[in-house]
């Protein structure tokens, strides 16, 4: 089963400094039929105006992954961590037993991110933060694991959940196959470009919710940059 979620039908909010689209129920966008996809709880498509951002606020018991599409995001938290994550790169925060953090766009341009929340396998534990670059050239024609809690994904940023976050780039006409346990839940979004997923067209910033499939074949209809979560 593949469910197509067109970008223009997503919930959203416009706060002036923040323009957000919500793939799942979030904040003032409440839809009891659209609360999650397996352990994937949040996928927000955020545009953050220059010299603005999210002031300090708390989180607990959530794995929060930020994929930067344009610009950069600067992170500060109550653990003393601080770092700037630029376009194409990824940061993760395991909120654990509790942490306060702020995320600012200190750039002269609009920053665009995917903010992804995945429920942890176990509650509590010490909070943590990390970030690293993932060159798009390394993802050409294949999925690279960006963040994972699964065995064997040693090169990825660590998260405390039975899930992985993947990225790939495809040239128009290229195909990519991904084997998927039919009992798991995959969610794919093209940050750029259009693709067919097992024959179903998915355009830029649309979502594709996938389950019950032993594998997916992705064919690029235009040059594409893909982000996907594979979760329990």
Q: How far apart are CA 174 and CA 26, in angstroms?
A: 35
Residue with tokens 């495809």: 170
Domains 11-136 and 141-231 share a fold: yes
Give the sheet arrangement for strand 215-220, strand by strand: 175-179, 215-220, 195-197, 200-202
Give the residue from 154, 150, 198, 195 showing the smallest Cα distance to 178. 198
Domain 11-136 is found in CATH 3.40.50.1220: no
Mind listing the pLDDT tens digit of every residue in the chain (232 residues)? 999 999 999 999 999 999 999 999 999 999 999 999 999 999 999 999 999 999 999 999 999 999 999 999 999 999 999 999 999 999 999 999 999 999 999 999 999 999 999 999 999 999 999 999 999 999 999 999 999 999 999 999 999 999 999 999 999 999 999 999 999 999 999 999 999 999 999 999 999 999 999 999 999 999 999 999 999 9
What are the φ and ψ backbone dihedral angles of 58, each rounded to 5 degrees?
-95, 155
* Rounded Cα gap, residues 2 and 4, in angstroms: 6
Per the CB < 8 A criterion, the answer to whether 224 and 176 are in contact is: no
CA angle, 177 then 193 then 71, to 5°: 115
Would you list the domain boundaries of the chain?
A: 11-136, 141-231
**C-alpha span between 54 and 161 (Å, rounded):** 25
Neighbours of 225 (CB within 10 A): 19
Calpha distance 32→139 (Å, rounded): 36
DSSP state of 29: B
- DSSP element (H, E) containing 175: strand 175-179
Residue 58 burial (10 A CB sphere; 0-12, 13-18, 19+): exposed
What integer pLDDT is reported at residue 228 of this predicted model? Answer: 98
Query: What fold characterizes domain 141-231?
Result: Jelly Rolls (2.60.120)
Give the model's pLDDT for residue 1. Answer: 96
Tens digits of residue pLDDT in 13-37:
999 999 999 999 999 999 999 999 9
51: CB partners within 8 A, 6+ apart = 105, 106
Predicted local confidence at residue 219, as pLDDT: 98
Give yes or no for a contact between 224 and 190, defined as CB atoms under 8 angstroms apart: yes
SS3 137: helix
Query: What pLDDT is attached to residue 187?
Result: 99
């Amino acid at each position: 089963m593949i469910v197509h979620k067109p970008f223009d039908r997503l919930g959203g909010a416009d706060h002036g400094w923040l323009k957000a689209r919500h793939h799942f129920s979030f904040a003032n966008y409440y839809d009891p039929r659209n609360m999650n996809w397996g352990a994937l709880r949040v996928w927000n498509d955020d545009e953050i105006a220059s010299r603005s951002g999210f002031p300090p606020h708390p989180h607990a018991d959530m794995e929060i992954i930020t994929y930067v599409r344009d610009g950069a995001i600067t992170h500060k938290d109550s653990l003393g961590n601080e770092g700037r994550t630029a376009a194409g790169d990824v940061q993760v925060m395991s909120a654990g037993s509790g942490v306060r953090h702020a995320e600012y766009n200190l750039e002269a341009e609009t920053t665009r991110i995917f903010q992804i929340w995945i429920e942890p396998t176990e509650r509590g534990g010490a909070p943590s933060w990390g970030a690293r670059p993932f060159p798009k050239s390394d993802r050409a024609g294949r999925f690279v694991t960006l963040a994972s809690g699964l065995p064997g994904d040693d090169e990825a940023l660590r998260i405390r959940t039975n899930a992985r976050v993947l990225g790939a780039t495809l040239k128009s006409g290229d195909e990519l196959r991904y084997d998927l346990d039919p009992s798991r839940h995959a969610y794919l979004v093209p940050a750029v470009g259009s693709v067919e997923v097992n024959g179903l067209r998915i355009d830029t910033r649309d979502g594709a919710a996938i389950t019950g499939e032993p594998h997916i074949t992705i064919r690029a209809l235009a040059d594409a940059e893909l982000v996907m979560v594979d979760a329990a």
